[in-house]
Amino acid sequence: RPIIEIKDLKKIYQMGSTEVKALNGVTFDVMENEYIAIMGPSGSGKSTLMNLIGCLDTPTSGSYILNNQDVSELEDAELAEVRNREIGFVFQTFNLLPRTDCLSNVELPLIYSGIKSAERHKRAAETLTRVGLGDRMDHKPNELSGGQRQRVAIARALVNNPSILLADEPTGNLDTKTGDEIMKLFEELYRAGNTILVVTHEDEIADHARRIIRLRDGIIEVDRKVENPLLEN
Ligand code: ADP
Ligand code: ADP
């Protein structure tokens, strides 16, 4: 079942009298439970594509169907609602609230969804346990290591059961060993049925995925299967 159906997607920025074609006609589908690395040089359109997929922005033209809903022409308020329901974001810089404990950080998306407090605590606690932080719920992010912070961010991304996990350079601020642990967690999430898109410029990270989409100058240059993914045990 396709989760994402993207057809001839274009995003053109008007800079004074010149046009910047950040995305210049991109077409691909993502099926449920795929694990995809988005690659490409700086300026190739990765962030623009992720912002569109993540419902942070709408395209200049083309269509984007997310979980059977056409989201290419939604107004901001509707887009925000779809985003909170369908997308889990993981960032290079974690983007956690520093003075708020892990449990409350993970509860945030559930507050936006209108879930009541007791249910929020329960679901956030379950999700933190799932990422291996069951004993750190009362800690604040600055009392945790980088890898643990990223796990909190992953728990926050997962807590609403989104259709897609979107990760932008999730290991970019981590040392190699910690980065490997995070990739191992992504592998577990993939095997548990999650659909994952990871933006990375590192081949070693991309080789954990099952498919690589490489952008260049706003178009898809390569869309291929990963032959021997770096499976973690
Ligand atoms: P990447 O993430 O691969 O580095 P981007 O999607 O950030 O690429 O950028 C693609 C192109 O679009 C670049 O030429 C960039 O300068 C341009 N661009 C991105 N965002 C904007 C913006 N808000 N306004 C104008 N140009 C932009
Ligand atoms: P960068 O990759 O440059 O470090 P980020 O990963 O922090 O940037 O953010 C990527 C984009 O997502 C930015 O446009 C930012 O405004 C937006 N963003 C960051 N956090 C959230 C959030 N929690 N909800 C919605 N949009 C966000």
Please report the ipTM that was assigned to this predicted complex.
Answer: 0.72
**CA geometry: angle 71, 127, 143, nearest 5 deg:** 110
Asked if residue 44 has its Cβ within 6 Å of ligand 1, the reply is yes
* Structural contact between residues 96 and 104, judged by C-beta atoms closer than 8 angstroms: no
**Residue type (1 letter), 114:** G
Looking at the CA of residue 47, tell me the nearest atom of ligand 1: 2
Task: Name the pTM for this structure.
Answer: 0.88
Nearest ligand for residue 93 CA: 2
Pocket test for ligand 1, best of 9, 20, 46, 52 (most atoms within 8 A of CB): 20
Q: What are phi and psi of 192, to 5 degrees?
A: -85, 0
Looking at the CA of residue 51, tell me the nearest atom of ligand 1: 6
Beta sheet of 2-15, edge-to-edge order: 18-31, 2-15, 61-66, 69-70
Q: What are phi and psi of 148, to 5 degrees?
A: -65, -40
The DSSP code for 138 is: T
Pocket test for ligand 1, best of 10, 11, 13 (most atoms within 8 A of CB): 13
User: What pLDDT does residue 233 have?
Assistant: 66
Helix axes 102-112, 146-158, angle to 10 degrees: 20
User: What pLDDT does residue 231 have?
Assistant: 84
* Structural contact between residues 37 and 45, judged by C-beta atoms closer than 8 angstroms: no
Closest alpha carbon to 108 in 160, 37, 66, 151: 160
Instruction: Tell me which residue has tokens 């209108």.
Output: 114
User: What pLDDT does residue 79 have?
Assistant: 96
Nearest CA to ligand 1 atom 5: 45
Instruction: Tell me which residue has tokens 């490489």.
Output: 214
> Can you give the pLDDT of all 233 residues of the chain as single tens digits?
999 999 999 999 999 999 999 999 999 999 999 999 999 999 999 999 999 999 999 999 999 999 999 999 999 999 999 999 999 999 999 999 999 999 999 999 999 899 999 999 999 999 999 999 999 999 999 999 999 999 999 999 999 999 999 999 999 999 999 999 999 999 999 999 999 999 999 998 999 999 999 999 999 999 999 998 988 76
